[in-house]
Amino acid sequence: MSFVPYDDRDGWIWLDGSFVPWREAKIHVLTHSLHYGASVFEGERAYDGVVFKSAEHSRRLHRSAELVGYSVPVSVEELGRIKLEVMARNGLADCYVRAFAWRGSEMMGVSAQQASIRTCVAVWHWGNYFADKMKGIRVTLSDWKRPSPETIPSAAKAAGLYMICTMSKHKAEAQGYADALMLDYRGYVAELTGANVFLIRDGAIHTPTPDCFLDGITRQTVIELARRRGYEVVIRHITPEELPTFSECFITGTAAEVTPVCEMAGIAYRPGLITETLMNDYDALVRGRLGSPAAA
């Protein structure tokens, strides 16, 4: 496999208040969040020099940190400026943006009351999240379930919640699938390992209630776009037994954007007009060729 490791690239990264050369943006091995999983992060995309829903992502970063028990020491407004400056310093207008925060190295027990909070913003070029995006992806069913909100703050985009996502994704890839659908702790359809899911039947779009997984910013955007088109959107609990009753399926996420699904949990789907329409509307919106759905 040939790829350039993320720690061996050229460019600039913003770390705790200053711009540092890419290869020097390092942390110590005895970093609390590396051991205990409470880093929080955002995945964003910039299109034509504009970070799509930048403030929403920064607000979610702040909320995620509050949910796991700390405050991000950089304001939403500052983060907005920093993202644009990191992009400019790296000469990128169309890129992925990763803003994140974590507990530092002052304490190494479970308690981290005195640990400093570190913040970083990095950007890089990232094309389609799925190699087969336009063909439609094949998705298997994960063995892992999204946990109850009484077990972990499931609305946070926090590192610990991704451990089972990576395990699910690895198993799916080993079996030749692009990704895995995760059910939730009650057995309802939840989400993929890094994206939300939508299912279509008789012209209506159904998507699970996000009560124990991330209510994606792309998910919310696509719901608005669909309603603006006059499509019915039904937000409800969906059981896996219902999966064969749908004809179309697509997933949404910042990295995945709107990606058609041609197979999920053993059921074949045929990407159709609604998926195509919403893919095109999302593309037009992020590139500023369509007004904001909220303004419609």
Annotated catalytic residues are: 157
Q: Using CB under 6 A, which of 38, 98, 189, 191 touches ligand PMP? A: 191
120 sits near ligand PMP (criterion: CB under 6 A): no
For tokens 């603006």, what's the residue?
228
Cα 18 from Cα 24, distance rounded (Å): 12
**Which residue's CB is nearer to ligand PMP, number 116 or number 209?**
209
Find the binding residues for ligand PMP in span 20-59 (CB under 6 A). 43
Report helix, strand or coil for 40: strand
Burial class (CB in 10 A: 0-12, 13-18, 19+), 290: middle
Q: How far is the CB of 222 from ligand PMP (least distance, A)?
A: 9
**Among 22-30, 107-115, 215-223, 233-241, the segment contacting ligand PMP (CB under 6 A):** 215-223
Do 101 and 119 touch, CB atoms closer than 8 A? yes
179 sits near ligand PMP (criterion: CB under 6 A): no
What are the C-alpha distances in Å from 31 to residues 53, 54, 103? 30, 28, 7
N residues, the chain? 296
Site string for ligand PMP, 135-174 (x = CB under 6 A): ------------------------------x---------
Find the binding residues for ligand PMP in span 244-283 (CB under 6 A). 252-254
Cα 23 from Cα 8, distance rounded (Å): 6
Q: How far is the CB of 267 from ligand PMP (least distance, A)?
A: 21
- The tokens describing 137, both together, are 């992806």
Do 91 and 124 touch, CB atoms closer than 8 A? no
**Which residue's CB is nearer to ligand PMP, number 189 or number 214?**
214
Q: How far is the CB of 194 from ligand PMP (least distance, A)?
A: 4
**Among 26-34, 89-97, 208-216, 226-234, the segment contacting ligand PMP (CB under 6 A):** 208-216
DSSP string, 152-185: S-TTS-BGGGGHHHHHHHHHHHHTT-SEEEEEET
- Applying CB under 6 A, the site for ligand PMP has a residue count of 15
Q: Which residue is nearest to ligand PMP (CB)?
A: 216
**Which residue's CB is nearer to ligand PMP, number 82 or number 181?**
181
What would the 3-class secondary structure string for 222-268 be? HHHHHHHCCCEEEEECCCHHHHHHCCEEEEEECCCEEEEEEEECCEE
Do 250 and 259 touch, CB atoms closer than 8 A? yes
218 sits near ligand PMP (criterion: CB under 6 A): yes
User: What are the residues binding ligand PMP (CB under 6 A)?
Assistant: 43, 165, 191, 194-196, 213-214, 216-219, 252-254
